[in-house]
Structure 1
Amino acid sequence: MAPENAHSETDGWQEVPRDPEPDDLGYELDDWEVIRAKKNDRGHLMFLPEEEEMLRDEAFIVADAQSVCDVVDRI
């Protein structure tokens, strides 16, 4: 037997636009600084949050440069 609210959850998803805005999904945009590093012909990118409190919480990303793309270029 399906839960009583199962139908209303399905209806809610059908009302969501196909290409929603990030804040419609609960995301907040942050400014991050990108630092490029190169060693032995391999490039890496380090992403650091501009908000110091986030950095204290160890929020950062290190990625292989070939694994990163600008999503604006992919649209």
Structure 2
Amino acid sequence: MGAAAAAAFGPSSPGFVIVVLVMLGVGSWLAEMITTSIGKGQISAMIRTGSLIAAIISVVMVAWKLLNLFFNFTQGKL
């Protein structure tokens, strides 16, 4: 069971990105809520933008890796 979880959610796996995105979403939401409540709306907007950029980069990296695996598989390199 542990090996299956490590294969699905371990580092450099597609499931790992899901975990990262959930943690990023919760962390940025909490940070935005705190900064907005103390009157720092500009910092809140920067947090939102930074978390969005980090989420996009993490998804693109995994998509690139999966596309490379797919193309290597179709060429018979795997």
TM-score, scaled to structure 1 = 0.26
For the pair shown, which has the larger CA radius of gyration, 1 or 2?
Answer: 1
- TM (norm. structure 2) is 0.25
> More strand by proportion, 1 or 2?
1
Which structure exhibits the higher relative contact order, with contacts defined as CA atoms closer than 8 Å and separated by 6 or more residues?
2
